[in-house]
Structure 1
């Protein structure tokens, strides 16, 4: 029996078309001394191919090629956006406020926490029971931030565990109000100093990059699963990863407005706008662009099929006693997520694995680390339920036969895991 691989949110197999093109590019752009920074013809050819990859990535996101910064993946892109913003403010001696949702990927949460070493202040944004940012609480938090501080808000587009889509447009609108508030204060100060006071949109437009609020989104779970257009989303920066789409592991991108104040704490040759020094991976960048194009080309047809599979597996989870994590919020259709009480998470995954079904308990970046999901905890799920989330996720290679295998195996796997949980907790009670 072949493996029913339903863990595409962790990583997707490399697409055959991408593997073929990548293998050729490894020879053409890595095996012949083709450094994009070199001025000879070989280097210029590599530089041209790299820029073409930027153009292709940007075109799919409603961005400009000059905004694309290639990275090793989504985690590095997240860290570069958050840490780079805070480090820039610290270098200028400006206070910095980072507002990040409580359900972000660890790449954002940990980076925000570590920027306290730069003097930044981190505010965790509360979410509702569906995992979406509480807009009223967000508005109140914005009012607490000094208008003199650099301000970055980082809220993911779609959650990597539950698939819930965040209200980015509403968040952007609240940030626009914050920009107007900042402009009003700054213009009033200027008027008090004798300069003519600008009002309205003119005042907002006059805000310096250091004074205007910025919005970053981690779109790693969303790209290829829904329409992602930076202009429509009203975001200034966006992170993504190639291996979630069928590109090789080791390539991703941060797409950031060129006016956004970012500074890398690392030196080097100044590649990628001075934010990621080192010889660029031309073959990887081209593989990313191709995988994104293939994903976008099939997205509408795939999402319709994924939605049917999502509902089938969620119905199956409910029948097994699970609670659907997002029963009323919009989600990407490629993720089916539920949580269970009185179930041992390791046991259910092992039982599914024995049935040749690959699923996940949550973020792959924390795989192998036992404990409750911080996403479910932020949603108000108790420790028992938050310790057993179950995620099935689909991708380009998912088939109906794989979904059928998961449906056939899930009920039995949950029963095995319930017995394991009961035995474990009975042992604890006897010990006490």
Structure 2
């Protein structure tokens, strides 16, 4: 029940990528022989598969090692390329650390960053963004769906606002790609980051969508791969896997969203009924179909997570698992430390079943009861 941390590689994805380790093992940049051409062809197919899922043009896809690299490339690359237009950035306190830490780095280089505080439901509004705009605002970065509480921000409204003002807009769509429909043909988003291991592809592969005519300076040099945006030998097996995963997600997204939201609602309702003093963190209407974050009053948070040893859950982002601080996302919602510590994220996925839900509810009920006693 921790699919937002990572997903297992789908068997169909694995089968698609395996030949590119030892049969079609060529370097996609080696265009003088059949081995390289075969690899390049596979990359082109995957690029089109991912582009179709996102409603983007294939030449707007730049493959990376994952969402963290994509976010760094988007924010740092856009800042360097467009600094003459301004040095002010806007983001949200509940963003992933990949965004927050990158913004902190840019502040050391002269950027001014405004961090918006969400409402108690975890949502911000386009009006908040509008009020924060300055004459020197260069870029706005708002994640599409939050990795901890699952809330889905009003990206379309914010993107239209920034486009009207001539301001760049980046969204971290890591948790949304493959779960929610995204059509960049109708969304004025300039930069979009994603990671393969959130949609049943392996770890170590991701992409940054760079809309045409968006100025960006590469953050690593050496070969000018990916249309000069990201140098480095392409991870052909990973790229093939990401393309196949995107194709599968597109084919089953609606049905899977309906199935998972029903399972999520049952899990949530049954826990709230079975465990007094429990409540949901974040919006219960504008959110991912697979995610719920529940707080448990009068329970030691560390003991709670350690005692829930029959199910895989978390109390925040996997990237912050070693931190002793309460979730910065839940703190931004106004939760006191004790409730932030005793909150648990449940995130479902392709292999989640009704039996899993029943097991989880019974286990949570038993553990919370024991800890309270």
Query: TM-score, normalising length from structure 1?
Result: 0.82
Note the C-alpha offset of 1:35.
1.3
Partner of 2:29: 37
Choose the corresponding residue for 1:102, options 84, 93, 106.
93
Matches within 5 A, 1:3-402: 6-30=1-25, 34-41=26-33, 42-90=35-83, 93-142=84-133, 145-146=134-135, 149=136, 151-177=138-164, 179=165, 212-319=166-273, 320=275, 321-353=277-309, 356-402=310-356
Q: Alpha carbons of 1:352 and 1:231: their partners in 2 closer, same or farther (altered >3 Å)?
A: same
Q: Alpha carbons of 1:7 and 1:386: their partners in 2 closer, same or farther (altered >3 Å)?
A: same
Q: Does structure 1 retain, via aligned residues, the 8 Å contact 2:193–2:209? A: yes
Structure 2 spans left out of the alignment, 5+ residues:
none
Q: Alpha carbons of 1:262 and 1:16: their partners in 2 closer, same or farther (altered >3 Å)?
A: same
Q: Does structure 1 retain, via aligned residues, the 8 Å contact 2:45–2:243? A: no
Distance 1:298 1:27 in 2: 30
Note the C-alpha offset of 1:175.
1.8
What SS is found at the alignment partner of 1:98?
A: strand
What SS is found at the alignment partner of 1:398?
A: coil
Note the C-alpha offset of 1:322.
1.5
Distance 1:362 1:233 in 2: 29
Distance 2:86 2:156 in 1: 26
Q: Alpha carbons of 1:341 and 1:59: their partners in 2 closer, same or farther (altered >3 Å)?
A: same
Distance 1:288 1:268 in 2: 24
Greater mean deviation of Cα atoms: 43-52 or 74-83? 43-52
Note the C-alpha offset of 1:44.
2.3
> In the alignment, is residue 413 of structure 1 matched against residue 367 of structure 2?
yes
Query: TM-score, normalising length from structure 2?
Result: 0.94
Note the C-alpha offset of 1:7.
0.6
Q: Alpha carbons of 1:232 and 1:415: their partners in 2 closer, same or farther (altered >3 Å)?
A: farther
Q: Does structure 2 retain, via aligned residues, the 8 Å contact 1:126–1:134? A: no
Note the C-alpha offset of 1:51.
1.6
Bigger radius of gyration: 1
Distance 1:273 1:123 in 2: 32
Distance 2:29 2:137 in 1: 33
Note the C-alpha offset of 1:327.
4.4
Please give the per-residue CA displacement for 1:286-321, whole angstroms capped at 9, x wherever unaligned: 100111211221222211111111111212332322
Distance 1:218 1:263 in 2: 19
Distance 1:274 1:282 in 2: 18
Please give the per-residue CA displacement for 1:351-400, whole angstroms capped at 9, x wherever unaligned: 221xx211111111111322211111111222221222211111111112
Distance 1:250 1:107 in 2: 15
Partner of 1:426: none
What SS is found at the alignment partner of 1:36?
A: coil
Note the C-alpha offset of 1:94.
5.0
Coordinate RMSD, CA, aligned: 1.7
Note the C-alpha offset of 1:413.
1.8
Structure 1 spans left out of the alignment, 5+ residues:
1-5, 180-211, 420-432
Q: Alpha carbons of 1:327 and 1:168: their partners in 2 closer, same or farther (altered >3 Å)?
A: closer
Aligned residue pairs: how many? Answer: 370
Distance 1:176 1:37 in 2: 35
Distance 2:295 2:352 in 1: 22
Note the C-alpha offset of 1:29.
3.5
> In the alignment, is residue 404 of structure 1 matched against residue 358 of structure 2?
yes
Note the C-alpha offset of 1:150.
5.8
